[in-house]
Structure 1
Amino acid sequence: MRALSIVHVVFSSRIAGGEHHCIDLANAQAALGHTVHVIGPAGSAVRHALDPRVSFHGLHLPLLRGARVKRLAARLGADIVHGHLGPACKATAAATSSARVGTLHVGYKTHHHARLDALVCVNSAQVDRLKDFGGLHRVIYNWAPERSSGTCASKAPSGSLRMEFGIPATAPVIGCVGRLHAAKGMHTLIQAFQRHAPADAHLVLIGEGPQRAELEALRGEDKRIHLLGFRWNVDELLGEMDLYVSSSREEQFPLAILEAMRARLPIVATATLGAREMLDPAQSAIVPVDDAPAMGQAIAAALEERHRNARQPVVYDMDRYDRSTAVRATLALYQDVIARQGATVQGLAGLSVEDARG
């Protein structure tokens, strides 16, 4: 495969699942010798998580982003422009001099994705929702992101979670990672925890977002519930937990579940598209969305089982979620899009010649 010039576009200032995926993909592609750029807001935290071989281009104002992405991609000689999340995919569609790809981190929307040349579906259910899409598509599963030891990771608090919050060594710890937003369902998780978890259990919420004040109010005086804010050392924190809970109302392919699987934790998850595709019901508890009693009962049962089997790790089949396989599949999709565009151009040129002869 020849070296490509690849431009990723992600318009988030914070880092959550889709941004993590973009960062890790860009870093992996640069490590393989491709020329990789990322376009995002000038003050984005994404910039500091990128490999030094990846160039970041900051946009200072959120105006005319499609036209600016188009000009910048042309100046950089981009073979591929790859959008992540809806607004970035919409801007990517304007880069008509390059092959345009989008990843469906959230889901297909005609006004964001229909004009792209190819789409990466992160679960198989998304394929059935591409009825008006005429480009290529592939199902390429995400992977648990690599946690670099670079600038951002070095700023993360390190050491014992239990020591930081005074949690006894024998107390069960339940964790959840995600943005503090209503879509993540953490208010339901707090309710489920308070009503059904053992009295000595602790709940750790890792992430930041607009719902923090609401969640703090819901927590009240319960000292067992800890809102850690954003942390980079997620793998280290998961290593001290007894149970992971994904409480989201909607998830296409949650990276946090993959991280919990990599940590070999038992998992309770709401029945989102992503969780249903990723988890085997024989190994994990899948409960209805927004159902605090069902979630709470599943948490209590999982902790009881965890105690009964002496914290035996859960071994998940992670072969489908291999980073190098997914990176290669993404690059292969790029090549297919480029080849398809080349064939179209040649076909149009042939038609022009025939027209001229006629």
Structure 2
Amino acid sequence: MRILQINSARSIGGGERHLADLVTALSQRGHDVYVALAPSSPIRVELSALLERNIFSVRMRNALDISSAQKLARFIKEHEIEIVHSHLARDYPLAAFAVRKNVDARLVLTRHLERPLNNLHAFALKRVARVIAVSKSVERALRAQEIFPPYKIRHVPNGIDVEKFERAGHDFDREAYRRSLPTSARLLVGIVGELREHKGQEDFLRAAAQIALEIDSVDFLIVGEDPSPDKRYGAHLMHLIKELGLQRRVHFLGWREDVPELLHALDLFISSSRIEPFGLVMVEALACGLAVVATKTGGAQEIIEDGETGRLVPVADVEALAKAARELLEDALERKRLGENARSAARERFNLARMVTATEQIYREALDTK
């Protein structure tokens, strides 16, 4: 198949890592894959499997950027694209316009969020062939909004390259790696993701303060950057660290390219999100055999089996989060049991091959539509 993937993201999160893995796998399976990205997109460096000529830069400033939509339409026509796959809500209308100008192309969307689509989407997306929901909670939200007929909606959980995360642990000198970190604590607890309010880093810090009162030998690592122009949330977190007296216990590591190795170096992973439709980094933690404590978001409930592959606690309940984390930090055998179960679950339920095969099937369904 000749496939164009569209993503205008200016930063990398779980959705963008999902796109890079999907593009690489589809290319390896023999499909002719192209990608439309914003200029200077950080996703470009993740697409080494593609030839440079298969990556197309277009501004895609917003959902009403007609000039960009026209460029996409010309690209689709010139390259005889069969499937146009769009991954961000602000790109959906542009992709829909471009497909409308090319009657042989079919539009597929991936929806990563539970947030309702707006009236512009309802108007622009009447000719969508299929919509992929990355979790059951996203699927329920799509069905409740009734923009798309139910038969067009498909649930395909995100997958990861499980072997990549497992390989990172082979012959891994964990102690040497930990010595490279800005801490010498015996136990390390981490959270990974963009610094955004809904990701719950504030709750992570407040739980850390409670844990630190009872366990001296634990430090806390925050991995990720604030993608907002004013960096306000990141500044708020820095102020909160001082307020809680955690300057020597919490370490900001910024954006890291070595997340698989970092996960293998941790003793416990925490996802304290207040909203999380899926949570790709939780799956990555499972693949590394890492015990996880997560808030009971829609995505976490689909990924974590409470008491078997991790612990689930109520959203925004700092006391419950601290208690579950503290119990696991004091019980190495339980952390090991959960980690072993987690690794098996990642292999069985969230492997990349399964996701790609399901996506290929949806493309074939789309091509069969009129």
Q: TM-score, normalised by structure 2?
A: 0.82
Unpaired segments ≥5 residues, structure 1: 150-157, 342-358
Answer yes or no: is the 8 Å Cα contact 2:112–2:138 preserved in 1.
no
Q: Aligned residue for 2:223? A: 206
Answer yes or no: is the 8 Å Cα contact 1:242–1:311 preserved in 2.
no
Deviations 1:35-74 (A, max 9, x none): 1111111110111110342521112462323333223222
**What's the secondary structure of 1:183's corresponding residue?**
helix
Q: Distance in 2 between matches of 1:13 and 1:205?
A: 21
Structure with higher helix content: 2
> How far 1:162 moved relative to its partner?
2.2
Q: Aligned residue for 2:109? A: 102
Choose which of 340, 353, 358 in structure 1 pairs with 2:369. Answer: 340
**What's the secondary structure of 1:176's corresponding residue?**
strand
Quick one: which amino acid aligns to residue 14 of structure 1? S
Distance 1:146 1:36, change over 3 A: farther
Q: Aligned residue for 2:257? A: 232
Q: Distance in 2 between matches of 1:160 and 1:230?
A: 20
Answer yes or no: is the 8 Å Cα contact 1:9–1:40 preserved in 2.
yes
* 1:308-347 → structure 2 map (5 Å cutoff): 308-309=333-334, 311=336, 313-316=339-342, 317-318=345-346, 319-341=348-370
Quick one: which amino acid aligns to residue 104 of structure 1? R
Unpaired segments ≥5 residues, structure 2: 166-173
1:254 aligns with 2:279: yes
Answer yes or no: is the 8 Å Cα contact 2:291–2:336 preserved in 1.
no
1:78 aligns with 2:81: yes
Q: Distance in 2 between matches of 1:331 and 1:163?
A: 44
**What's the secondary structure of 1:294's corresponding residue?**
helix
* 1:91-240 → structure 2 map (5 Å cutoff): 91-94=94-97, 95-96=99-100, 97=102, 98-107=105-114, 109-110=117-118, 111-112=120-121, 114-115=125-126, 116-129=128-141, 130=143, 131-134=146-149, 136-145=152-161, 160-168=176-184, 171-197=186-212, 198-209=215-226, 210=231, 211-220=233-242, 222-240=247-265
Answer yes or no: is the 8 Å Cα contact 2:223–2:253 preserved in 1.
yes
Which structure would you say has the larger Rg?
A: 1
The share of aligned pairs that are identical, in percent, is 27
> How far 1:145 moved relative to its partner?
4.7
Q: Distance in 1 between matches of 2:24 and 2:361?
A: 17
> How far 1:310 moved relative to its partner?
7.7
Q: Aligned residue for 1:287? A: 313
* 1:264-303 → structure 2 map (5 Å cutoff): 264-283=289-308, 284-303=310-329
> How far 1:322 moved relative to its partner?
1.7
1:6 aligns with 2:3: yes
Name whichever of 196-205 and 11-20 sits farther off: 196-205
Q: Aligned residue for 1:152? A: none
**What's the secondary structure of 2:262's corresponding residue?**
helix
Q: Distance in 1 between matches of 2:44 and 2:24?
A: 12
Answer yes or no: is the 8 Å Cα contact 2:6–2:84 preserved in 1.
yes
Once superposed, which parts of structure 1, at least 4 consecutive aligned residues long, lie more than 4 Å away?
A: 145-149, 158-161, 308-312
**What's the secondary structure of 1:93's corresponding residue?**
helix
1:21 aligns with 2:18: yes
Quick one: which amino acid aligns to residue 234 of structure 1? V
Answer yes or no: is the 8 Å Cα contact 1:82–1:89 preserved in 2.
no
Answer yes or no: is the 8 Å Cα contact 1:271–1:287 preserved in 2.
yes
Q: Distance in 2 between matches of 1:93 and 1:45?
A: 24
Quick one: which amino acid aligns to residue 268 of structure 2? L
Q: Distance in 2 between matches of 1:337 and 1:303?
A: 48
Q: Distance in 1 between matches of 2:163 and 2:92?
A: 25
Answer yes or no: is the 8 Å Cα contact 2:86–2:92 preserved in 1.
yes
> How far 1:160 moved relative to its partner?
4.2
Distance 1:112 1:245, change over 3 A: farther
Q: Distance in 1 between matches of 2:276 and 2:111?
A: 11
> How far 1:294 moved relative to its partner?
1.6
Distance 1:46 1:148, change over 3 A: farther
> How far 1:166 moved relative to its partner?
4.5
**What's the secondary structure of 1:315's corresponding residue?**
helix
Quick one: which amino acid aligns to residue 94 of structure 2? A
Q: Distance in 2 between matches of 1:104 and 1:133?
A: 12
Deviations 1:274-295 (A, max 9, x none): 1011111122221122221221
Q: Distance in 2 between matches of 1:84 and 1:145?
A: 19
> How far 1:311 moved relative to its partner?
4.5
Q: Distance in 2 between matches of 1:289 and 1:67?
A: 43
Q: Distance in 2 between matches of 1:240 and 1:61?
A: 39
Answer yes or no: is the 8 Å Cα contact 1:21–1:145 preserved in 2.
no
Q: TM-score, normalised by structure 1?
A: 0.85
